[in-house]
Chain A
């Protein structure tokens, strides 16, 4: 399972410690919080003086340290004057979630799955090392995410209405397998110059399906349904997300990629 978030701090490398924090015994460490996809470079952080405090639960650390307004004076405002503003925002965010105004999910950067706030912080610490060797410290890199609002019922009904005649499971699996066979070569391409199968390239599969006259929404849906039964609402959400990340290159580029495919 891929981590939900893999944010990078510019100029630094970050590796999860899996509880091994040897070498940092006498050092302070940071509790960093960013919201959703906001970049780490503008995140809130709070320095915790003692590594022993890392044995506390994440919830305790949030409530008693980082998001405790009485500890505002401990923020590094000399270098980051925006920290008190960020702290206020996060406190409001955290309190609103506690009041049930929305559901808050907390993730650890680069880690799989949701974080249990009652787990000990030490198990989720990461080493953050700046490549120029100026900094090397431990960080609990949390990401707050508000669970999306319920799916728009009208949009969902029209989504269902657009796909009235999807095949049976076997037929779906076959259709999905055909799509994979036909379009896998476009999963990682370069466009300048055009090349297929490059490492870390662009995934143009959905756009190429669309270019070939297929309905990309249906193609994503077929892939999802072929993997197993799925609620319509979940399927709709996944389809919307996939379509948001569909590339949008111009037809010249797609034609050139097709040309390579055909040679």
Chain B
């Protein structure tokens, strides 16, 4: 099996892979475009022999190439060894590993950023690999333990049974019960960046998140919000977003965001949004949901609670401190735009989450696992002193510092294996040949107790 790697050099630098049969020496560009235009099952039935190693990731590639404007990109062009390939040209795939670059057509307009249909992309992904996504949702949902009934009183056994005419086939109580359970499921998955750095994926789409969660992985707040948004779009549930920040989110935030996108990144960046929540409507009621996990409890609020949270924000527990998180309801377009920018436009976003934003590799109510660039001497001592000093006044057990030389001291084999993989991935990802240091992990036990979910009484009455 040969590998064809398509690297998005004008976007976030992410690479997408396709496995090709051994005997395949070249691939015509027009044929590649046709292949990517087709859902995978249809592509197979038409005789295409390329296979993505990850079908859900493949849907993200399809979105980028066949609906580039939906990802705020100009149309994609392919380049091999510095040569721009037109539709009649062919990629030379004679080597075991072939890399081609995805460039942008400079002569075409970037398109109107107002016409961004994330819901349409979500539905296309479901058409492309619905069976796999249903399998993932079913594995996590536990339909046998959590009863959902349609209007005929029939008990639902699979997500596949709810996707057609969800709003028509289920009363509002069962709609809410299903969405509540899905929110619980997404929240229960870990808040982590390690699976992304190991896989080399800077940010996961909503549908990719379901595959990742089914494998035991998780993501950060925006990725988990994207996962819930994907479900709502498949079910036809109307959605909105709330953006969160330590800073006041200005009234003209969406105008700033649009300017930034129209200018293709040349205009000043809008205010940094730290947090993204999803809202949706069932019947006549709006609900706001935070499924981040980490140190944040499941939030599922409606009515006055929702209005108060939007007006005053809330106190959010971080690893070492509590921050005031201001919220602002933003349009579906703006929320979609933020997710799309994260997914396709920020190089090294997973790296930034780990280091620049100090989210580290994993946060739960029990432990924080961070990482730092460790180039020895006073620098290493400063970092160790810094983390130990943070733990001391909070009466937290003292952190452990794990590097390659003492990795064996970790008693938990699964953690040891994961950190080994992360270490290799970080070294591979940070390709600076002059870097003479390494990476050290900080394992900080947290003993401040789990915060219970924040669920409005009206929701509890419905979901039991």
Complex Cα distance A256/B382, Å? 14
Contact A252 B376 (CB under 8 A): yes
A250 to B317, CA, bound (A): 29
B449 near A36 with CB under 8 A, answer yes
Rounded to whole Å, the gap between the CB of B365 and the closest CB of chain A is 10
* B398 in contact with A248 (CB, 8 Å): yes
Nearest to A200 among chain B residues (CB) is B392
Say yes or no for A230: interface residue by CB 8 A criterion: no
Q: Are A78 and B401 in contact (CB under 8 A)?
A: no
A237 sits at the interface (CB 8 A): no
CB <8 Å contact, B381 and A244 = no
Given contacts A39-B321, A245-B397, contact A250 B403 (CB under 8 A): yes
Does B151 touch A at the CB level, under 8 Å? no
Query: Is residue A74 contacting chain B, with contact meaning CB distance below 8 A?
Result: no
B312 pairs with A80, CB closer than 8 A: yes
Closest to B397 in A: A244
Known interface pairs A36-B449, A81-B309, A250-B403. Does A41 touch B315 (Cβ–Cβ under 8 Å)?
yes
Most-contacted residue by chain B among A39, A85, A194, A244 (CB, 10 A):
A85
Q: Are A194 and B398 in contact (CB under 8 A)?
A: no
Are A41 and B322 in contact, with the CB atoms below 8 A?
yes
B385 in contact with A82 (CB, 8 Å) = no
Instruction: From known contacts A39-B321, A77-B308, A249-B388, infer whether A85 and B454 are also in contact, taking CB-CB under 8 Å.
Output: yes
Min Cβ gap B315→A in Å is: 5
* Identity of the chain B residue whose Cβ is nearest the Cβ of A77 in the assembled complex: B308
A38 beta carbon closer than 8 Å to chain B:
yes
Known contacts A39-B317, A192-B385; is-contact A248 B311 (Cβ 8 Å): no
By secondary structure, the A interface counts as: loop
Does B406 touch A at the CB level, under 8 Å? yes
Give the residues from 61 to 92 in chain A that come closer than 8 angstroms, CB to CB, to chain B: 77-82, 84-85, 89
Most B-side CB within 10 Å, residue of A244, A247, A250: A250
* Complex contacts, A42 vs chain B, CB 8 Å: 315, 317, 322, 451
Q: What are the interface flags for A245-263 relative to B under an 8 Å C-beta threshold, 1 for contact and 0 otherwise? A: 1111110110010000000
A123 at the interface (CB under 8 A from B): no
Minimum CB–CB distance from B376 to chain A (whole Å) comes to 7
Q: Which residues does chain A contribute within 8 Å of B449, judged by CB atoms?
A: 35-38
Q: A78 with B384: in contact, given A41-B322, A247-B398 (CB under 8 Å)? A: no
Question: Closest residue of chain B to A85, judged by CB?
Answer: B454
Would you call A250 and B315 a contact (CB within 8 A)?
no
Using CB atoms, name the residue of chain B closest to A35.
Answer: B449
Q: Is A57 an interface residue (CB 8 A)?
A: no
Q: Please indicate the chain B residues that have their CB under 8 angstroms from the CB of A39 in the complex.
A: 317, 321-322, 394, 448
Contacts of A256 in B (CB 8 A): 381
A191 to B384, CA, bound (A): 8
A199 CB within 8 Å of chain B: no
B437 on interface, CB distance cutoff 8 Å: no
On chain A, the residues within 8 Å of B389 by CB distance are 202
Q: Which residues of B contact A80 (CB under 8 A)?
A: 312, 314-315
- Nearest A residue to B455 via CB reads A85
The answer to whether B385 touches A190 (Cβ under 8 A) is yes
B400 CB–A CB distance under 8 Å: yes
- Does B131 make an interface contact (CB < 8 A)? no
- Identify which of residues 366-403 in chain B touch chain A, using a CB-to-CB cut-off of 8 Å: 376, 378, 380-382, 384-385, 388-389, 392-401, 403
A79 CA / B28 CA spacing, docked (Å): 62
- 4 additional contacts (CB under 8 A) given A35-B449, A82-B454, A193-B378: A81-B312, A81-B314, A191-B384, A202-B388
Q: List 28 A-B contacts (CB under 8 A).
A: A10-B321, A37-B447, A37-B449, A38-B449, A39-B394, A39-B448, A42-B451, A78-B308, A78-B312, A81-B305, A81-B309, A81-B314, A82-B315, A84-B305, A192-B378, A202-B388, A202-B392, A244-B397, A244-B398, A247-B398, A248-B401, A249-B381, A249-B388, A249-B401, A252-B381, A253-B380, A253-B381, A256-B381
On A, residues with C-beta under 8 Å from B are: 8, 10, 35-39, 41-42, 77-82, 84-85, 89, 190-194, 202, 244-250, 252-253, 256
The interface of chain B, by Cβ under 8 A from chain A, is 305, 308-309, 311-312, 314-315, 317, 321-322, 376, 378, 380-382, 384-385, 388-389, 392-401, 403, 406, 445, 447-449, 451-452, 454
Closest 9 CB pairs of A and B: A81-B308, A41-B322, A192-B381, A192-B382, A244-B397, A248-B400, A191-B385, A192-B385, A85-B454
